[in-house]
Structures are given as C-alpha cells and as structure tokens.
C-alpha cells in the first residue's frame, strides 16, 4: 500500500488557504493563488521544524497503525532513523507488550475519540520509560477518520521526583507525628506540673490581665481560678504597690528573650477575706512575647522567720548597747574623771606633766563619745514613742558632724503610739539609706522626714545625688535588707528618682490600733 508523507503534521495547506480566503477584506489584502501556496509551504516548513525539535515523540498513523510521520525524537529515544519507520506498524517498533497496553486507546482514537493514558513501558529499543501518551483522531476534509496522531512525553524524571517527594513527605509526616507526640507528652507533663505546683501560676496577656490560673491560685486568692480570668493581678494588690508592680511588669515585658525573666519582687496580695498576704512575684516572658507567666509565692512563713530573726538581732544589739552604756561607758567615764582630777592637781603643783595629762583626758573624752555613739547606733530606741524622733535627730547630727554635709531631720505629728520594734526598724532603714546616699549617690545634702499620714507612719530619706538605675538597685544587698526590715513590721518600701534630681526612699508602716 503506498504511503504519502504529509507536507505538515496536523496542518492542511488547502484548509489554510481556504481560511485565508474566508477572512473579511479588512483583515488582510487579497493575495494571488501563488502567494497563498508560498505562505502555506512556509508555515508547513516552520511547523515541521518546531515539531522536529520537540523532545516528545510525535507521530502520525494511518488506519492500519502504520507510521506516516515521526519526528526526530525517535532517534534520541530509540536510536532509530525516523525515515526508516515510515510504513512500519506501531507494534513492530514499540514491541508487543507495549502495544497490548496501548491497543484499547488506539482503537478509541480510530473510533474518533481522544485517548490519554500513562504508564511505565519496556520498549523494544531504548530504556524503560514512564510516559504520558495522548492519541487524537486524524480526519479528512469530509470528517472521516483517516488515522490518528500520537504524542508521547517522557515523564520519568517528574514521576521519580514525585515519588521521592511522596517518600520525603511520608518521612516528614512520620517525624512530625513523632515530634507532635513528644510535644503532647511534654505539654501534659508541664500541665501536670503546673496544676500540682504549690505556688500560684498565672498566665497574663500584654495588659496584665489573667488568661489562665492553676488550682493553687484558689488558696492564695480565696477565689476559684475561673473568677480570676480577665482580671489584672494589680487589682489584688494594695493601692500603694500598684504603681511599683506596673513598672515591674513593664520592665519584665522589655526583658531580653535571652534573659526570659528578671529578679522577683515582693508585695502584698489581698485575699478574698480582706487579709493581706506577703508574696513574691516573678514574671516569665514567653517566646511569643504576647503572653507572660506570673509565678506567685506565699512568703508568709519566710516573712515570719525573717521578722523573728530581725527581732532576735535587734534584741541582741539592744543588749550589747545596754552593756556598753551601763558598763564600758561608765568605766570610761570614771577613767575620764580621774584623769581630769589628776590634771588639775598636776597643774596646781606646777608639774610639767599637767599638759600631757590634759591631752590624755581629751582623748579619753573622745573615746567616751565614740562609745556612746556605738551604743546609740546598736540600740537607738530604748523606749517607745517620741524616742524615734530623738534617735533620728541624733542620727542626722552625727552624720552632719562626721561627714561634713548638711543633714536635716523634720517630724510632723505625734508618735507616742509607735511600737518600739517599728521605731527600731525605721531607724535602721534611715541609717542604711544615709549610708547608701553617702557611698553611692555622691550627694551634697540629705533630708530625713518622719510624718503621719492617715493610719501610717511614713519615713522619707531624700538626697540631691546622682540617682539610681532600677536594674542596679534591685540587686543591692542594702536595699534588700531595708525591704526585709519594712516587711518585718508589715510595711512597704519604695525607692524612686525625684523629678529634679537625686533619690527619695519612702517607707510606709501601718499603725496597729
């Protein structure tokens, strides 16, 4: 049977010429038949070149499955000259195994329908390939099927990549599942720890409102955890502590992610019954930086031990002061009188040792003053009431004399009902504040003020020095001791930079009626 190779795969010059003739006059100028033929030949040549360069197999077959055209890709795929395939049957080239798979789709194309399939094929020539095949019926001008066109694309690499991607996806999903399981176990362990923790744990949002609370919160607040949701922690603090806690919370929010938390702060928390409970609060910063964890510990027992320890220390100091005053100072005073009497006798006898004896008397007198200062420092408030005022005034005078800088003391109100322990702790707080101002603030003036405001005794020590930095003051041992002393008498202590310059320490202690 003779076979003629079409001038162009999938294109018909006669049809192209007819399409050109059917265009409206405005679309293109009229051309001569010779010009139409020339254009058709050029289009067919261009199409043939393009098809010939494609990496996919493109072939045309007649009704008997004989090749009437095949592109240059057959040489690349099978090592066969495309021209040598013209007239040969499809199954002779690809092999019977491949043909049996493709046969129903070939029949579908010859029946006038498009067919598409994909699979891995072992060809007679060349390696096994995974291909995607598309068959389209080829028709004449009357619409009759005269054969079919085959487009075969090698998708081996794509399918291999897809398979590898599926394998990697499966591996990743397995790892994610395992990791998720680990995270669930860790989360369950963490939740169990938080739920059973003896300390209160609150989760706060950026505004300080409670998002979640563990069961220990009910013991501390006297409220079920669900009633704490939506309420800020500051709502349960005394009014005097709210501002300081707000600054502490903002400082925690600004903390570096590498630090995660800053030093805890102490405060008082109001129980649902109205009683105040001493607490210690630490703020943890989450990596998301929009949630914060407040760890709250009831330090009532610790406060009690600290108070007892300070009371023992104060009593011991008072005993030492009393011993110094009653024994050492009296003995030094007796020595001083004896030396003065001896100096007078030597002077009346015109002795040359009179002046030396007088100087010894002055030295003994100075030693007596120092011993009295030590005694007053160890036991500043021997009685109750206004002795606190006298002790603070004496402290101011001593500071002014020894340090040669102005130190004033002002009192406003009556303090006869101030407990001796309260007065003693306020004195030591003032003493420590003066030492800090002298050592660190480089102040040229210090002022002490004792006043009564409503039902509180308020001690303020201010200076005109260089101020302080919050991160530095929070770690100072002297400040911690002052906080302990204030807490030991149910008071609060606050240190702030003044608007103009310098530092002001304020200690408030409620009076117990």
What residue spans of 379-468 are helical by DSSP H? Answer: 387-403, 420-436
Q: Please indicate, yes or no, if residue 3 is contained in any of the structural domains.
A: no
Band (13; pLDDT cuts 50, 70, 90): very low
Do residues 212 and 227 make contact, with C-beta atoms less than 8 angstroms apart? no
Q: What is the predicted pLDDT for the residue at 258?
A: 58
- Mean pLDDT computed over 482-490: 84
141 contact partners, CB below 8 Å, separation of at least 6 = 12, 14, 15
Q: What is the CATH number of the domain that holds 36?
A: 3.30.450.20
**HSE-CB of 378 using CA atoms within 13 angstroms:** 18
The Cα 370–Cα 328 span in angstroms is: 11
Residue in 249, 309, 247, 238 with CA at minimum distance from that of residue 279: 238
Q: What is the DSSP string of 374-393?
A: HHHHHS--SSSTTHHHHHHH
Asked which of 168, 194, 220 is the last residue of a domain, the reply is: 194
Residue 127 has pLDDT above 50, yes or no: yes
Asked which of 239, 268, 296 is the last residue of a domain, the reply is: 296
Per-residue CA distances from 254 to 248, 260, 262, 289, 459 (Å):
10, 10, 10, 9, 32
The Cα 349–Cα 356 span in angstroms is: 14
Cα 304 to chain centroid distance, Å, stands at: 36
Band (81; pLDDT cuts 50, 70, 90): very high
Same-domain status, 317 and 427? no
Matching residue, tokens 């008397």:
361
Same-domain status, 218 and 283? yes
Q: What is the predicted pLDDT for the residue at 22?
A: 45
Q: What percent of the chain has pLDDT over 90?
A: 35
Same-domain status, 31 and 143? yes
Residue in 452, 472, 468 with CA at minimum distance from that of residue 460: 452
Do residues 353 and 403 make contact, with C-beta atoms less than 8 angstroms apart? no
Residue 306 has pLDDT above 50, yes or no: yes
Q: Which of 26-40, 48-62, 66-80, 394-408 has the highest mean pLDDT?
A: 66-80
Residue 260 has pLDDT above 80, yes or no: no
Q: What is the predicted pLDDT for the residue at 242?
A: 87
Structure tokens that stand for 210 in this block? 């409670």
Asked which of 271, 296, 321 is the last residue of a domain, the reply is: 296
Beta pairing, strands 407-412 & 446-453: parallel
* pLDDT one-digit tens code per residue, 450-467: 999 888 899 999 998 877
Residue 24 has pLDDT above 50, yes or no: no
Q: What is the CATH number of the domain that holds 389?
A: 3.30.565.10
Same-domain status, 17 and 127? yes
Same-domain status, 66 and 162? no
Side-by-side strand order, sheet with 456-463: 407-412, 446-453, 456-463, 503-510, 492-497
Average pLDDT, the chain: 80
Same-domain status, 17 and 137? yes
Band (477; pLDDT cuts 50, 70, 90): low
Residue 234 has pLDDT above 80, yes or no: yes
Q: Please indicate, yes or no, if residue 117 is contained in any of the structural domains.
A: yes
Matching residue, tokens 């101002």:
437
Residue 183 has pLDDT above 50, yes or no: yes
Same-domain status, 238 and 167? no
Domain that holds residue 274: 197-296
Within 10 Å of residue 283's Cβ, how many Cβ atoms?
24
Within 10 Å of residue 164's Cβ, how many Cβ atoms?
10
Do residues 276 and 255 make contact, with C-beta atoms less than 8 angstroms apart? no
The Cα 390–Cα 384 span in angstroms is: 11
Same-domain status, 509 and 403? yes
* pLDDT one-digit tens code per residue, 380-431: 654 544 578 888 988 898 888 878 889 999 998 888 888 888 888 898 899 8
Matching residue, tokens 């059917």:
22
Q: Please indicate, yes or no, if residue 35 is contained in any of the structural domains.
A: yes
Q: What is the predicted pLDDT for the residue at 202?
A: 92
Q: Please indicate, yes or no, if residue 4 is contained in any of the structural domains.
A: no
Q: What is the predicted pLDDT for the residue at 45?
A: 55
Q: What is the predicted pLDDT for the residue at 263?
A: 78
Q: Please indicate, yes or no, if residue 1 is contained in any of the structural domains.
A: no
The Cα 203–Cα 191 span in angstroms is: 13
Q: Please indicate, yes or no, if residue 441 is contained in any of the structural domains.
A: yes
Q: Please indicate, yes or no, if residue 6 is contained in any of the structural domains.
A: no
Q: What is the DSSP string of 306-357?
A: HHHHHHHHHHHHHHHHHHIIIIIHHHHHHHHHHHHHHHHHHHHTT-TTHHHH
Same-domain status, 169 and 76? no
Same-domain status, 364 and 240? no
Within 10 Å of residue 259's Cβ, how many Cβ atoms?
9
Q: Please indicate, yes or no, if residue 503 is contained in any of the structural domains.
A: yes
- Mean pLDDT computed over 346-353: 74
The Cα 304–Cα 466 span in angstroms is: 35
309 vs 287: which has the higher pLDDT: 309
Residue 447 sits at φ, ψ, to 5 deg, of -125, 135
Q: What is the DSSP string of 170-203?
A: HHHHHHHHHHHHHHHHHHHHHHHHHHH-SSEEEE
Q: How many domains does the chain contain in total?
A: 5
Per-residue CA distances from 246 to 88, 233, 281 (Å):
91, 10, 12
Q: Which of 63-72, 177-186, 288-297, 318-327 has the lowest mean pLDDT?
A: 318-327
330 vs 177: which has the higher pLDDT: 177
The Cα 29–Cα 513 span in angstroms is: 116
Same-domain status, 461 and 488? yes
Same-domain status, 85 and 170? no
Please state whether 413 falls in left (phi above 0), alpha (psi between -120 and 50) or beta.
left
Eight-class DSSP state of 438? I
The Cα 483–Cα 303 span in angstroms is: 11
83 contact partners, CB below 8 Å, separation of at least 6 = none
Structure tokens that stand for 250 in this block? 């903002």
Cα 404 to chain centroid distance, Å, stands at: 50
- Mean pLDDT computed over 171-190: 92
The Cα 347–Cα 338 span in angstroms is: 14
pTM, rounded to two decimals? 0.50
């Amino acid at each position: 049977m003779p076979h003629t190779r079409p001038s162009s795969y999938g294109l018909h010059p006669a049809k192209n010429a007819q399409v050109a003739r059917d265009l409206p006059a405005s679309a293109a100028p009229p051309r001569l038949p010779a010009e139409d033929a020339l254009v058709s030949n050029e289009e067919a040549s261009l199409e043939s070149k393009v098809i010939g360069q494609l990496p996919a197999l493109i072939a045309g077959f007649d009704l008997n499955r004989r090749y009437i055209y095949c592109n240059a890709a057959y040489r690349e795929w099978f090592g066969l000259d495309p021209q040598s395939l013209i007239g040969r049957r499809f199954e002779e080239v690809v092999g019977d195994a491949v043909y049996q798979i493709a046969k129903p789709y070939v029949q579908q194309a010859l029946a006038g329908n498009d067919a598409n399939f994909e699979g891995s094929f072992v060809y007679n020539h060349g390696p096994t390939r995974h291909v995607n095949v598309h068959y389209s019926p080829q028709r004449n001008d009357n619409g009759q099927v005269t054969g079919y066109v085959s487009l075969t694309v090698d998708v081996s690499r794509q399918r291999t990549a897809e398979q590898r991607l599926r394998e990697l996806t499966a591996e990743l999903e397995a790892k994610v599942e395992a990791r998720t399981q680990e995270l669930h176990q860790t989360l369950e362990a963490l939740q169990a720890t938080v739920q059973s923790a003896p300390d209160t744990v609150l989760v706060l949002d950026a505004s300080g409102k409670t998002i979640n609370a563990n069961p220990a919160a009910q013991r501390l607040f006297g409220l079920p955890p669900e009633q704490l949701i939506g309420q800020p922690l500051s709502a349960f603090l005394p009014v005097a502590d709210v501002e300081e806690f707000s600054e502490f919370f903002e400082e925690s929010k600004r903390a570096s992610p590498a630090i995660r938390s800053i030093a805890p702060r102490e405060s008082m928390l109001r129980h649902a019954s109205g009683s105040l409970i001493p607490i210690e609060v630490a703020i943890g910063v989450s990596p998301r930086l929009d949630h914060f964890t407040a760890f709250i510990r009831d330090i009532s027992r610790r406060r009690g031990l600290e108070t007892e320890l300070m009371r023992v220390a104060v009593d011991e100091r008072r005993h030492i002061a009393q011993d110094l005053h009653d024994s050492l100072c009296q003995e030094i005073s007796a020595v001083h009188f004896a030396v003065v009497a001896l100096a007078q006798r030597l002077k009346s006898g015109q002795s040359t040792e009179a002046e030396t004896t007088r100087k010894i008397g002055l030295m003994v007198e100075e030693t007596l003053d120092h011993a009295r200062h030590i005694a007053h420092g160890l036991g500043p408030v021997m009685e109750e009431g206004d002795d606190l005022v006298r002790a603070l005034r004496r402290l101011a005078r001593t500071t002014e004399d020894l340090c040669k800088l102005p130190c004033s003391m002002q009192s406003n109100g009556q303090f006869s009902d101030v407990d001796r322990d309260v007065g003693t702790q306020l004195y030591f707080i003032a003493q420590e504040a003066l030492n800090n101002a002298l050592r660190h603030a480089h102040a040229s003036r210090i002022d002490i003020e004792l006043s009564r405001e409503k039902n509180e005794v308020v001690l303020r020590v201010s200076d005109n020095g260089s101020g302080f930095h919050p991160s530095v003051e929070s770690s100072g041992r002297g400040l911690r001791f002052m906080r302990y002393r204030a807490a030991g008498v149910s008071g609060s202590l606050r240190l702030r930079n003044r608007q103009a310059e310098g530092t002001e320490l304020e200690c408030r202690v409620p009076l117990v009626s």
